Structures are given as structure tokens and as C-alpha cells.
Structure 1
Amino acid sequence: MKSISSLHNKNIKQLLQLQEKSRTRRKEGLFVVEGLREINLAIAAGYMFTEIYTCPEVFSAEHIPHINTGNATLINISQEVYQKIAYRNSTEGIIGIAKNKPHLLSAIELPENPLILIAEAPEKPGNIGALLRTADAANVDAFFIANPRTDLYNPNIIRSSVGCVFTNNIAMASSAEIIAFLKEKNINIYTAILQKAKNYTSQNYKEASAIVVGTEADGLTDEWRTAATQNIKIPMEGKIDSMNVSVAAGILIFEAKRQRNN
């Protein structure tokens, strides 16, 4: 097995560039995954790894047989190198470089009666990660990002999603493209908009449904207001009229799940 102990090694320099720069990730078509759980989730989702780095002082060799490394090159790194490249403090001493996926809308396959969660223009990695966790927890049929502003393979998204970026059926496209997709497939569109909205519990989500949330700062664009089957709202009993987008998405999507399970 190849070993690296120098911070100036070209492989390590490339890994740091992939961690730090979205432009490099796009250009190379590669991204960094840290942690045994996240790497195993990515492999299970069909991601191909080019290199997997392990630090013998931290990583337990007994885990190696449980990783389907495919054609990835396995490389030992020194503890000094690992401490330099590790994005988190508790990632079991394993870091991989994987090939990204295009997440095309045209590649999405849906069941007969789908439930979809859609977020328009989410920007904060923490919010995107939380939305991905919500989508995974509800086991939605797809999670769409409309008008994406942030690189899906940002290390902060992978970290905050605890690997749910690999467990969801994800597509990214413009709002117009996603709306056309939903209309073509006769999927009802329920938009989280306060104006001309009905209580979210009053709607029937048992048929093919998409629940759409916007950013806390800007809400949803007029494209979604026009396309909506119905605007829905969560009644607010406090002194403000907004809540974290992932919290709102969780309330709405789990109401849909409750109806479908009854």
C-alpha cells in the first residue's frame, strides 16, 4: 500500500483544493468524503472512489474488509498529514475522494404516487444538510433543489447532512424546469407561502404531491406562486411569522406522511 507522510505531496495538495474550492470540485468532477459511515453510504449509493486515505494511528484496520473500495487506490497517511486534511475531529481516520454525479432531473425515477420535497435556492450549507436529513427521515421519493446556489458537495453540506446527501434521490434544476416536470407528471404542488394560503393540515397529500419551501429571507419566487396547486401555511402563535426552513419542511412533509400512513 502506498504511503504519504509529506504535506507537500501532490495528492494531498489536490485533496485540500477539493475541500476548499467549489471551482476545483466542478472542474475535476471530484469531491472529498470524510468518515467511515459517510464513505460506506456513498459506496452503497453507487459513488465511485478514486482514492481512499487511512491514518493507521487512528483508523482501525478491522474496518477495511467492510469497505467495498472498488478500483480506489488505498493510501496510508501519517498522523501529521491526517490532522492537516481532516475536516472534522471525529472521522475515524479515513478520507476518500469520489466522483460526483450530475443529479439531472431527466434521470429521476418516481413511483406511481410520489411524495417530493423541493427547496428553492437554499444557500446555507447547514440548512441544506438539515433538509437532506429531513428528506431521508421521511423517506421521500425525491428531493429537488431549484435554482441551486451552493455546490452540493461542499464539505459542510456533507458533514451537516451526516451522509444523507448520498441517501436521497436528488435532482437540481431551475424552478421553471422543475415546475414543468411536475406539471407533466400531474404532481400537485403545495407551496409554503403565507399569502392566500390555507392551513397545511387542510390539504390532501395522499395523491402525487410536491411540497415546496423557500429561503427564510426571500421565501418562494412568483414562479412557484403561479404554479401552485395551493399555497399552504403553518399557523404561527408567536411574535414572528417565520421559522427555520428545515423545521418548516419537516412539519409539512411529516403531515403528508401521516396522511399517507392512515
Structure 2
Amino acid sequence: MQNQIKSLQNDKVKFLNQLKEKARVRRREKLFIIEGKREITLAIQGGYTITQLYYCSSIITYKEVSLLAKTYNNQIELFEITSEIYQKLAYRATTEGVLAVVVSKNTDINKLTLPSKNPLILVAEAPEKPGNIGALLRTADAAQLDAVLIANPKTDLYNPNIIRSSVGCLFTNTIATGSTVDIVNFLKKEQVNIYGAALQASVNYNTLDYTKPTAIVVGTEATGISDLFLENTTQNIIIPMNGVIDSMNVSVAAGILIFEAKRQRGFTN
């Protein structure tokens, strides 16, 4: 079933705009917005619940949207919106004319079950910039990590800029969040070696064995990882650099460390 919405003053449009703009509304309603066919398809494949689809018929046809809805088992409400409404709600001018309202997942670290007995995990502590978080999730997807753990997140996970910068990899990764204490306790309980990217008491990253259960921890570019993580690492690791500065973009550093671990594991697990 489809409905038509033609006014920017429509209550549904106002609500969608709040979901787009306000993290507190997303948290309260346990809903968020996705735009674009690829991202919506990845969310469906990732087990997210889609409740509504809004489409602009001057960009995408009803038939195309119906086919997208049919890839999902539950009944989805379809709403046709004007190009003016779509332009107000969409973050990207190049998306394919379709938006979805999606139910948030519970990402509590205490709910996480690791899919592997020999996991390779990325931990990002206190990340703030949506672009960095998105890049980390893209790297995690490329490496097919067992989990991405975000300690003390400073940005709402369902921020549209994270979805955009991750190109949908928010939905392809197993993600859990919690305090640093919770995540340290989880890793210790699971008997996972903790390797922290830090300058203090560190060794070159390529001198260690990552073929056992491994968590690679990265912090912010400004402050690095916290004292609590430093006190609980199996070993701190460093990427040797020949330039003037002693740090690099967190997503670049994470990629180097993760793919060294993947190389050691033969890129098979």
C-alpha cells in the first residue's frame, strides 16, 4: 500500500526531519533513517527491521520501490513524496530517491556473542568524527572482522553522516558499544589478547603474533587510548613513522594493523 505526501508541514515529514537531525529523538524512538537503495538493501541483509519507505517518483519508480520492499518479509508502508520534501530530508543529492525508517538495534556489549572462537576484533575508543567512524567500519568490512567494539562513543551510531561515510558498512559489521570498563572486562572474559596502538612501552606492530584471539585498540588522534586500556593491554604496538609528526589518521592506522593481522592469518578467518 502506498500513500502520497505533498506538504512539508505534514506531521510525518516533520518527524522524519527530527530523526535526521536529532540524536535524542533517534534514541528515544529507537528509529533512524537510511537513504539509498544500496544502504537499505544492506540493512535488510544485516537483519534490521524496516518499517516505512518514502520515495520520490521523479527519481525512482513505484515499481522499483515495490521490488525493494519485496526483498523484506514484513509489510512495509510506502509513501510517495515530492522532490521538495525529498530534498529537505536527504543528506546526499546523489541518492536514488528512496528513504527508509529503520528500527535501531541494541548494541550493548553485554548482548554480544562472538561468532568465532579465534576472533579478530577492532576496538575504537571514544571516536568523535563520523567520517572516521565510517572509515573504520569500511575497513572492518573489508577485513571481515568478527566485531567492532566502540568504547565510550561520543557520536550517535545512527548519525546520518556515519551511515553515509560507512557506505552502508554500519549494517555489514557486528557492532557493540559500552564503557571502556565494560569492553575491557568483555575482552578479558573472552580471553582475547589486547593490543593497543600507543607510544608508551610499545613494540613495532609487525613483530607480534596476531593468529590467536586478538583485539586491536585505537584511540583518538588527539589523546590516544585511555589509561585504563593502557593498564590492560597484552602489549602496546606502534607503526614506525619517518615523518615529522608522530601520529596518523586513526582509520589509516587501524587499516595497517588489521591487515597485518589478516596477513598472518592467511586472509581466511
Deviations 1:177-213 (A, max 9, x none): 1111111111000000011100000000000000000
Deviations 1:203-224 (A, max 9, x none): 0000000000000011011011
Equivalences for 1:119-138 in 2 at 5 Å?
Answer: 119-138=124-143
Partner of 1:16: 17
Percent pairwise identity: 56
Distance 1:17 1:62 in 2: 28
Distance 1:81 1:209 in 2: 47
Partner of 1:37: 38
Distance 1:162 1:234 in 2: 27
Partner of 1:165: 170
Partner of 1:156: 161
Distance 1:248 1:62 in 2: 44
Partner of 2:149: 144
Equivalences for 1:104-253 in 2 at 5 Å?
Answer: 104-110=108-114, 111-253=116-258
Q: TM-score, normalised by structure 1?
A: 0.98
> Match for 1:85 among 89, 114, 122?
89
C-alpha change, 1:225 and 1:122, in structure 2 (3 Å) is same
Partner of 2:67: 65
Distance 1:236 1:248 in 2: 11
Bigger mean CA offset, 33-42 vs 55-64:
55-64
Partner of 1:99: 103
Partner of 1:254: 259
TM-superposed CA distance for 1:104, in Å, is: 1.7
Bigger mean CA offset, 68-77 vs 138-147:
68-77
Deviations 1:100-135 (A, max 9, x none): 011121222221100000000000000000011111
Partner of 1:55: 56
Distance 1:208 1:183 in 2: 11
> Match for 1:74 among 74, 78, 86?
78
TM-superposed CA distance for 1:62, in Å, is: 4.3
Partner of 1:46: 47
Distance 2:266 2:117 in 1: 16
Moved over 6 A (4+): none
- In structure 2, runs of 5+ residues without a counterpart are none
Distance 2:133 2:121 in 1: 15
Indicate the SS of the match to 1:81: helix
Distance 1:97 1:66 in 2: 14
Q: TM-score, normalised by structure 2?
A: 0.95
Distance 2:11 2:93 in 1: 23
- In structure 1, runs of 5+ residues without a counterpart are none
Indicate the SS of the match to 1:54: strand
TM-superposed CA distance for 1:239, in Å, is: 0.6
Deviations 1:36-60 (A, max 9, x none): 0000111111111221101111013
- State the one-letter code of the partner of 2:134: G
- State the one-letter code of the partner of 1:151: D
Distance 1:83 1:225 in 2: 46
Length, aligned pairs only:
262
